[in-house]
Amino acid sequence: MERLTAALLFAGCVTFQGWAQTPPAQPPAVQTPATEQAPAGQTASAAEPSQFPLDRFKDFSAIMIGLPTPGSEEEAHIYRSGDLMRMEGNEGRIYQISDLAAKQTRSVSRGGCLQYNGFYIRTYPFSMSQPGNTYERVSVGKETVDGHVCDVEDVTIHVANRPEPAKIRLWEAEDLDGFPVKVETKMHQVIKYKNIVLGPQDPTLFIFPKKTCQVAEKTIGKVPSPGSPPKKAPPAKSPAPQN
């Protein structure tokens, strides 16, 4: 169990910013207010940046399929309540709780609890909303995904202290108040969401053992498994005999 938890941590324990790249080439965009979106293929002029379109989904649950990194089509339950997100794996025996405001994550398993700085990978793309970021939004039409009529939107995220912006494409379901049922990056990594339920979540889902949660070391290669004893220093070697 400890090895499984360590493997999950290796996949997502570092600060995951999820800076997806550009979808297929689109017309240049200007910043669009959250209250106004341009018609398909056009942009709206505005002096102020828009709000990140996913910020309004503060309370929901869903099944997330896929990751922003290659090689995974696994499903996982995700939940959000305010700034807290819970992600479950291994039939709920392992879960992570990320605080999007504090930029911290707790990973909990039967072996214990591990706290580290950064977001768990399945918080993407919701964790891309951070202070200092600005956003541009361009509507590119409508499509139907898994029976949902969607407004398709390209979102450019200008991240402080990063030369290149991040870009993603969202398929926002009209019957789910615009919740994205599909997300795509430039590298054509696709994430889908199903069984989406909007509204307040059970607060007990976001409880973790605060007093027994170990604090991980900064270096990813040194992250211990929850509940594992600290490594002991090797015994000092005896000096070599003198001839």
> In this predicted model, which residue has the larger pLDDT, 8 or 187?
187
d(CA 90, CA 135): 35
Sheet with 134-145, strands from edge to edge, namely 134-145, 148-158, 166-173, 180-184, 190-198, 59-65, 75-81, 84-89, 94-99, 104-109, 112-117, 213-215
CATH of domain 2-222: 2.50.20.10
7 vs 188 pLDDT, higher one: 188
Q: If pLDDT is split at 50, 70 and 90, which confidence band does 146 have?
A: very high
Q: Which of 159, 130, 166, 186 is nearest to 19 (CA)?
A: 166
pLDDT tens string 55-73? 999 999 999 999 988 877 8
Digit-coded pLDDT (tens) for 197-222? 999 999 999 998 888 899 987 534 43
pLDDT at residue 163 in the model: 86
Spell out the residues 6+ positions from residue 126 whose beta carbon is closer than 8 angstroms to its own. 54, 57, 80, 85, 100
Percent of the chain with pLDDT over 90: 52
Average pLDDT over all residues of the chain = 77
- pLDDT the model gives residue 175: 97
Task: Over range 2-7, report the average pLDDT.
Answer: 42
Query: What is the DSSP track for 172-195?
Result: EEGGGTT-EEEEE-TT--EEEEEE
Residue with tokens 């505005």: 46
Q: How distant, in Å, are the alpha carbons of 44, 151, 199 from that of 176?
A: 24, 11, 11
| pLDDT of res. 111 | 86
Given a cut of 70, whether residue 37 has pLDDT beyond it is: no
What is residue 4's predicted lDDT score, i.e. its pLDDT?
37
Pick the closest to residue 188 from 169, 166, 163 (CA basis). Answer: 169
141 Cβ contact partners less than 8 Å away, ≥ 6 residues apart: 40, 41, 152
Best mean pLDDT range from 8-22, 53-67, 88-102, 207-221? 53-67
State the Cα–Cα distance between residues 78 and 88, nearest whole angstrom: 6
Q: What is the C-alpha separation between 156 and 169, in angstroms, rounded?
A: 9
Contact partners, residue 25, CB within 8 Å, separation at least 6: none
